[in-house]
Amino acid sequence: MPLMNPLTLPELDRLIPKLARDEKELDKIRMEVSERKTLHSILVGHIDDYEAFLDKLDDVWRGCFDKLVVAGWKT
């Protein structure tokens, strides 16, 4: 599906309240958004255990910190 042209602020001011009252249209938007792949899902893939993912991410950041600490001294 091609990207739409961005809306102007006056257009958004007019459309958002109208959209908020239209449950059918909101459902269509929810479906469209939930079906789209995000850059995050493409790069990371599906994560079954988010807590395990966060633990691994902490390990990565800890490794980065250890490499970047000046002269290896931690404060």
pLDDT along the chain (75 residues), means of 10: 70 85 88 75 70 88 80 59
Q: Provide the pLDDT for residue 42.
A: 62
Stated pTM of the model: 0.37
Q: What is residue 71's three-state secondary structure? A: helix
Place of tokens 């469209």: 32
Q: Provide the pLDDT for residue 44.
A: 65
Q: Can you point out the beta strands (E) in the chain?
A: none
Tokens at residue 13, please? 């001011």
Q: Provide the pLDDT for residue 36.
A: 74
Domain boundaries, the chain: 1-36, 46-75
Q: Provide the pLDDT for residue 1.
A: 46
Length of the chain: 75
